[in-house]
Amino acid sequence: MRGEDKHDRIIKAAIKVFAKNGFYNSRVSEIAKEAQVADGTVYLYFKNKDDILIRLFEEEMDKIITNMKGEMDNIPNPDEKLRRFAVVHLNMVRENKSLAEVIQVELRQSSKFMHEYKNRKFIEYLNIISTIVKEGQRTGYFRTDIMPGLFKRSFFGALDELSNMFVFSTKRKYNVEMAADQVSSFFIAGLLPDSNH
- Among residue numbers 102 through 121, which ones bind a copy of itself (CB under 8 A)? 104-106, 108-112, 115
Q: Does 161 bind a copy of itself (CB under 8 A)?
A: yes
- Among residue numbers 116 through 145, which ones bind a copy of itself (CB under 8 A)? none
Residue 48 Cβ vs DNA, minimum distance, rounded to whole Å: 3
Q: Does 3 bind DNA (CB under 7 A)?
A: no
Alpha-carbon gap, residue 9 to 3, rounded angstroms:
9
Closest alpha carbon to 74 in 64, 61, 63, 84: 84
Q: Does 123 bind DNA (CB under 7 A)?
A: no
Selected binder of DNA within 1, 3, 40, 194 (CB under 7 A): 40
HSE of 175, CA atoms in CB hemisphere, 13 A: 2
Site map 42..71 versus DNA, x via CB under 7 A: xxx---xxx---------------------
Residue 154 Cβ vs a copy of itself, minimum distance, rounded to whole Å: 4
* CB distance 110 to 53 below 8 Å: yes
Residue 7 Cβ vs a copy of itself, minimum distance, rounded to whole Å: 21
Alpha-carbon gap, residue 118 to 110, rounded angstroms:
10
* CB distance 78 to 175 below 8 Å: no
Q: Does 41 bind DNA (CB under 7 A)?
A: yes
Q: What phi-psi label fits residue 36: left (phi over 0), alpha (psi between -120 and 50 degrees) or beta? A: left
Alpha-carbon gap, residue 56 to 105, rounded angstroms:
14
Alpha-carbon gap, residue 100 to 96, rounded angstroms:
6
Q: Tell me which residues touch DNA (CB under 7 A).
A: 6, 25-29, 37-44, 48-50
Q: Tell me which residues touch a copy of itself (CB under 8 A).
A: 21-25, 101, 104-106, 108-112, 115, 146-147, 149-151, 153-162, 164-165, 168, 173-174, 178-179, 182-183, 185-192, 194-197
